[in-house]
Amino acid sequence: MNNLLSESIQQITGQLKNWRRDFHHFAESGWFEFRTATIVAEELHRLGYSLKMGQEVIKADARMGLPSAQALQDQEQRAIKQGALTAWLPHFSGGFTGIVATLDTGKPGPTLAFRVDMDALDQNEEQTPAHRPYADGFSSCNAHMMHACGHDGHTAIGLGLANVLKKHESQLIGKIKLIFQPAEEGTRGAKSMVEAGVVDDVDCFIAIHIGLGVPQGELACGSDNFLATSKIDVTYCGVASHAGGKPEEGKNALLAAAQAALGLYAIPHHSKGSSRINVGVLQAGIGRNVIPDHALMKVETRGETNEINEFVYNQALNIIAGAAKMQGVEYKLELMGAAQSSQPSPRWVDFIYQQARQYVPELSSVVRSRKQPAGSEDATYFMERVKENGGQATYLIFGSELSAGHHNERFDFDENVMTTAVKTLATIAFHLSDFEG
């Protein structure tokens, strides 16, 4: 089987690169993945997968950080001009850009789910000959949208895996679900898919990422260093007034935001683990002689555990409210994104470790876990739901050489990692009957 698998993957190596470069060129950020989703849906349909899309797999009121209706409409029209397959667009209109493809083998066995993300970042890409995507003609053509984290590669890996699994369907058991998630950046999309129930029947779950500081050729079978996070936008609303003539009539929204920002950084650390808080944006005021009546502050909290993040978050809410009261202004708060902390399932990690070492010689190193710089990932929502239901879950990282760090305008990766990832994930699926969960 290993030789047949290698041959099948070799046959799609060129297509993996084509998919990845196409998605990279037409980068689409969170909830705007209209063109990407239609291409993914078309390929999965061609292969014969059973598809659920849009509002079938995304709970509308659980979405976070959703752009305006006008922005969604504008980006859908942009996608059409750039080659979105219009037959599929009604499923995704309004930003419901998620897909779940199911392969039912008809044989008894567990349900195995793989999650890949599809969205780009809200940043501009380097446009110089020193940057390979530009030199080779596939850098992003969309302003302020760039695949600077590798999700273009993840989507390609998902499609490659779909091809290989379908071709060798007779070697599989149970059900395979391929989850194509929108809006991972900003940790906005997974919760809405979880609340739509897409993993409620899943026994074994895997999310993937490439890069993340893991050395070229290495597989980390159970990354466990993701911090729980909450991302909030705070708007203070005061009363404008002439700063010289009638200062007593004004209510200073800028001052409330500034006092809140300083107070947030005074939140104490927690004895049970690390925590973070950051005020990344503070915008206010229209002129030097006007009491500012409006201020926007963008904040994120993080914690090593859900408990620690909740502590920081609740402290932040008190400070935000207190600053408003001090200045006599109103405020509103909007949750823009969130993720949990989650520990991989040890037996599942060990099984993947053994399979990768035995059947994927392309990997130069396989480790059970590797501590990476602490960020956040909303795949943890999927992981926690599967584990709550008695299943197994983990997060795999495939090491790759990078031209620059994640979220950098010069980000690029070694495309050979995609074939290694497809082979590893397919190997896990083909040997699932050996797992004693």
- Edge-to-edge strands, sheet with 294-303: 275-284, 294-303, 228-237, 330-339
Q: Is 407 annotated as a binding residue?
A: yes
Paired residues of 118 in beta bridges: none
Residue type, 169: E
Q: Is 151 annotated as a binding residue?
A: yes
Q: Which two tokens stand for residue 408?
A: 């950098």
Q: Is 24 annotated as a binding residue?
A: no
CA 360 to chain centre: 26
- Write the DSSP string, 124-187: PPP-STTSHHHHTT-S--STT-B--SSHHHHHHHHHHHHHHHHHTGGG--SEEEEEEES-TTTT
> Cα–Cα–Cα angle for 286, 262, 315, nearest 5°?
120
- Write the DSSP string, 326-365: HHT-EEEEEEEEEE---PPPHHHHHHHHHHHHHH-TT-SE
Q: Is 294 annotated as a binding residue?
A: no
Tokens 């620059």 found at: 404
CA pair distance 197, 337, nearest whole angstrom: 19
By the 8 A CB rule, do 37 and 118 touch?
yes
Of the candidates 37, 116, 24, the one whose C-alpha atom is nearest the C-alpha of residue 76 is 37
CA pair distance 268, 265, nearest whole angstrom: 8
CA pair distance 143, 160, nearest whole angstrom: 28
Q: Is 242 annotated as a binding residue?
A: no
CA pair distance 228, 121, nearest whole angstrom: 20
CA pair distance 294, 296, nearest whole angstrom: 7
CA pair distance 241, 219, nearest whole angstrom: 60
Q: Which two tokens stand for residue 187?
A: 């940790």
By the 8 A CB rule, do 269 and 323 touch?
no
Instruction: Please give the annotated binding residues, written as ranges.
Output: 149, 151, 185, 209, 407
Instruction: Please give the annotated binding residues for Mn(2+), written as ranges.
Output: 149, 151, 185, 209, 407
